[in-house]
Amino acid sequence: MTKNNTRFDYIIVGGGTAGCVLAAKLSVDPSVTVLLIEAGKSDSHPLIHVPAGFAKLTAGPFQWGYISQPQKNAMNRKIPLAQGRVLGGGGSINAQVYTRGAPDDYDRWVSEYGCNGWDSETMLKYFKMAEDNERLSGKYHSYGGPLGVSDLANPHELTKAFVQSGQEMGLPYNSDFNGESQFGVGYYQTTTRNGKRCSAAVGYLHPALNRKNLVVKTQVTVSRIVIENKVAVGVSVISGKSTNTYSATREIIVAAGAFGSPKLMQLSGIGDPLDLQSAGIKIESELKGVGKNLQDHCDLDIIYSINKKISMDRMDSVSPFTANAGIEYLLYKRGPLASTVVEGGMFSYSDKKEKTPDLQFHFLPAAGVEAGVAATEKGLGVTLNVYFLRPRSRGTVRIASSDPRVAPLIDPNYLSEDCDLEATIEGLRQMREVMSQPAISKYITKEHLAKGATLNSKDSYVKFVRENGRTSYHPVGTCAMGSHEESVVSPELKVHGIGNLRIADSSIMPEIVSSNTQAATIAIAERAADLILSGD
């Protein structure tokens, strides 16, 4: 097979987290040809591979620059929605926090959405199959898989104080958020290996790149799936000013993410007729659920000034991190650059009647790290954030135009359900409680609430949440799997009503998992590859 081939057995659209897993797994058999198409660039930039590079990647050239529609329950704000646009997708720019969600999440996919075969026991098999854990093994963990999972090389002094403070507040110390229980406070394990980021591109795709039967095209955007007689037969692509078509003899697998996958379905005439007609697109297949059921965790941050020059703020400009940090990292793969910055974790309850924790917190020994989150005035601070893990608000993704270069209209519809607001407020209250405990409070000089807010009444909390809620970068659910009316794919991930077409990425989650979403997406792609290869 040459690089100029236009005919492949499998075409995978989107070289993000799921796409990289699929490309590696489907191309194991040398007699099968695979094409992976990614809109963004290759992942060769060094910042992608240094764990602390996360602090530079939530804005800039490796993300799509999406902005939400005005959020009617969040002061009509248009909220930036960073999503990866680079080989490795979100996994090349994310915070590398390794969490899988609660087993109950997957069991609910089966019991409430009819997703047979996606129960927690089956998913645990895929989590373990993927995993190369440097510390844990046994019932919940494994090693030797493609995805490096590591402990923090050297947790920051401030993170240690935060973890002690969680215990002072009464939470148990948890050495494994992916083990017996999520509940408690501790250090996150991260998707890193030997002091470097391990995205699905690094762990799965790079080792497969020398296979002659695998072609990877970057900076190529799929503009449409070509459908003949209700069967997907190829894809049209654009690259700069040129266009091209590739055909697939077996299957096309869409893995363009929770915004990209429904957009591509709609561009291809698969979706709610109302959405398609308003963009002037001919209907190939009526599938009302495409672009519906959008879910994300709505994140709230508080930053604090500290009294010691030790935080990791503005690592590029504040001494002593510049040259020293670089040398320490190059020589030993340690020091601030080896940190993912999002170091400390906590899972707790807003509602004690829940079976598993419904609040998740991230502690960063720095402030001003992510786009849109402020730094303290002196550049010395820490950040704590929280979100409600099982939001009931549901949003939409709709194409704005038949022009594939135009961004879709994305409405996460944050905080449209009162329970989401109430749980988030309880999360904020717990944030302030943990930050007032002795171990961390001895460093804190001031709490900075965005927009000069004060939190002293229910109304002030409500206003704060509506004024400052933002994405946690976990959009899912827009091409939901299931056997219900608004489902888009079957439990085998086949698009209802169209042959030879599957979707396999974060968009197929019928309900968001109770944690960060990368590990779940990798497990989805692992299972998708098994389903495809076994002919299911």
Ligand X SMILES: Cc1cc2nc3c(=O)[nH]c(=O)nc-3n(C[C@H](O)[C@H](O)[C@H](O)COP(=O)(O)OP(=O)(O)OC[C@H]3O[C@@H](n4cnc5c(N)ncnc54)[C@H](O)[C@@H]3O)c2cc1C
- Return the active site residues: 474
Binding mask 187-226 for ligand X (x = CB under 6 A): ----------------------------------xx----
Angle at 416 between CA 427 and CA 69, to 5 degrees: 110
Torsion angle, CA of 137/143/149/150, rounded to 10 degrees? 70
Residues 390-419 that bind ligand X (CB under 6 A): none
Residues 258-317 that bind ligand X (CB under 6 A): 260, 264
* Structure-block tokens of residue 203: 């762990």
- Nearest distance in Å: CB 98, ligand X: 7
Residue number with CB closer to ligand X (430 or 518): 518
CA nearest 365: which of 212, 161, 115? 161
- Options 69-77, 253-261, 319-327, 385-393: segment touching ligand X (CB under 6 A): 253-261
The C-alpha atoms of residue 147 and residue 104 are separated, in whole angstroms, by 23
The C-alpha atoms of residue 193 and residue 186 are separated, in whole angstroms, by 20
Residue number with CB closer to ligand X (439 or 529): 529
CA nearest 293: which of 116, 106, 482? 482
Residue number with CB closer to ligand X (267 or 306): 267
Residue number with CB closer to ligand X (168 or 358): 358
Torsion angle, CA of 373/378/381/385, rounded to 10 degrees? -20
Interface with ligand X includes 185 (CB under 6 A)?
no
- Options 77-85, 112-120, 151-159, 296-304: segment touching ligand X (CB under 6 A): 77-85
Residue spans of alpha helices (H) in 199-296: 200, 257-267, 273-278
Residue number with CB closer to ligand X (13 or 480): 13
Identified binder of ligand X from the candidate list 12, 17, 149, 440, rule CB under 6 A: 17
Binding mask 23-42 for ligand X (x = CB under 6 A): --------------xxxx--
The C-alpha atoms of residue 197 and residue 505 are separated, in whole angstroms, by 20
* Structure-block tokens of residue 492: 């085998």
CB-based closest residue to ligand X:
16
Binding mask 85-104 for ligand X (x = CB under 6 A): x---xxx-xxxxx-------
CA nearest 439: which of 152, 156, 154, 160? 160
User: What is the 8-class DSSP label of residue 376?
Assistant: P
Token pair 């079957």 is at which residue? 490
Residue number with CB closer to ligand X (120 or 518): 518
Identified binder of ligand X from the candidate list 431, 519, 528, 529, rule CB under 6 A: 519
Identified binder of ligand X from the candidate list 196, 390, 466, 474, rule CB under 6 A: 474
Q: Which residues contact 459 (CB under 8 A, 6 or more apart)?
A: none
Residue type, 377: E
- Nearest distance in Å: CB 253, ligand X: 11
What is the H or E stretch that residue 235 is in? strand 231-239
- Nearest distance in Å: CB 516, ligand X: 3
Q: Which residues bind ligand X (CB under 6 A)?
A: 13-19, 37-40, 58, 82-85, 89-91, 93-97, 221-222, 255-257, 260, 264, 473-474, 505-506, 516-519, 521
